[in-house]
Structure 1
């Protein structure tokens, strides 16, 4: 499918570093806006106070296992914590990657590890073309509807829903055609899975 080629370039690397560096202050700001204490957030998320404090001070690198329960506790979209670039924002210094009409914003640069992207798929109807390759993928829908064809399954994921799967199983995903869809894509080597739990995706009509 070509979605998982590692992006290159010094500008992208610097921009990703800036995004990650801004996560800590953003976490502190959102927590204080909600009048929450570190102890209260720790109780709500199961993450220790020391880990939360290190996240906010930038001493602990943010990852999905930490950010997802924090987003749930604050009841905010995951990308609000990450501060992923908004489409069309002229202030974005990193250059979006466009492949086959789909726009990717790289959120991590860890060769050999997990690769994370914010993805915008335009409203269009495409014929599913399932592919296979080594790896494991996790999808989280931010807005819109994402059609996922996985083996014998054909489902539609809505905002706030997630799916994870072995990419050796024939798979394809894209817009249902009802409108654009924004989602997070986390891709890792074979055997490296996300340690999160999400409710099963509801079944939807074929796009």
Structure 2
């Protein structure tokens, strides 16, 4: 199963190129392609661009329109003339729309600066990604999902959207089973099995 970080990038890139949220099966399919074929995000993005869905969105657009389409999907707003000119120059140099789209996605999804507008646009993109990966939580990562992510982190296991969706739903529906679910994660990691209750709480 693909890691949650990879799935986040795939979900964002799918939305950037196609303009709609991917199904979980699409996320799993493209995430596995990344791993099994050792693809870069740029190569994967080119696969999305050249797919039937991608071509239905982009084939009739010129380069400026393609960039604006992808930028708007990511940012929820059109690129300024200055930004568009810069991105267009990058595309003309490389001739690789997939590489440019992957760059645009990375710049926003993993933005760490302090510009207010970009931070707001990043938050909106992350919300879209969460709605894609965690559909059973009605568009947001609920308390159950947050608990599960904490369990994954504590036992140093790879997070997956399927696992977070499944166990998060169980916790939301049966909060009284929280301790039992936590124990299931611990049972899979011998290093934590011998901790006292107090030490386990500190670890979590």
Q: TM-score, normalised by structure 1?
A: 0.28
Larger-Rg structure: 2
* More helix per residue: 2
Q: TM-score, normalised by structure 2?
A: 0.29
